[in-house]
């Protein structure tokens, strides 16, 4: 005989789903916040502190977070759960990151004419953010499945 109290109610399931979505969204925004300064550092090394103006570093990071927040939420990155992450999700991440980087560069161009931004930084940021968003999903799926066999399904 099964007890109906073992399963969460419809509202509880909705709240659990909402909290999972919120955690995933927060994770992605933190990764976006990390990716911009890290891409500058990967491009410039220790010269970053003398080459890049603080306004670009702080303002660019905030702008990239804002652009990423809008793009990630509108492009449907949070429809599924990480346990079932697949190559389709990786393509969705690549599309969303591509749009976010292009929009960010366009806005920054209008605002500053990209003054002080090394031209390879957006490409580095693109690769880095795809890795930072896709990597944890991959690791989570491997952890939940306990092996790599079902990963590409």
Give the C-alpha separation, 133 to 13, whole Å: 25
pTM exceeds 0.85: no
Compute, in degrees rounded to 10, the torsion defined by CA atoms 74, 135, 45, 37: 30
Biggest CA–CA distance in the chain, Å, is 70
- pLDDT tens digits along 3-44: 555 556 666 565 555 577 888 899 999 999 999 999 999 999
Give the C-alpha separation, 55 to 142, whole Å: 40
- pLDDT tens digits along 109-134: 999 999 999 999 999 999 999 999 99
Compute, in degrees rounded to 10, the torsion defined by CA atoms 34, 56, 122, 130: 10
């Amino acid at each position: 005989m099964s007890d109906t109290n073992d399963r969460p109610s419809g509202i509880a399931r909705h709240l659990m789903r909402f909290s999972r979505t919120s955690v995933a969204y927060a994770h992605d925004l933190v990764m976006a916040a990390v990716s911009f300064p890290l891409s500058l550092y990967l491009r410039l090394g220790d010269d970053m502190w003398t080459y890049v103006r603080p306004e670009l570093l702080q303002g660019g990071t905030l702008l990239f977070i804002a652009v990423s927040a809008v793009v990630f939420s509108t492009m449907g990155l949070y429809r599924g759960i990480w346990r079932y992450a697949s190559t389709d999700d990786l393509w969705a991440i690549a599309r969303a990151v591509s749009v976010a980087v292009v929009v960010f560069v366009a806005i920054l161009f209008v605002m500053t004419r990209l003054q002080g931004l090394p031209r390879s930084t957006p490409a580095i940021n693109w690769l880095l953010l795809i890795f930072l968003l896709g990597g944890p999903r991959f690791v989570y799926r491997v952890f939940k499945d306990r092996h790599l066999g079902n990963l590409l399904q």
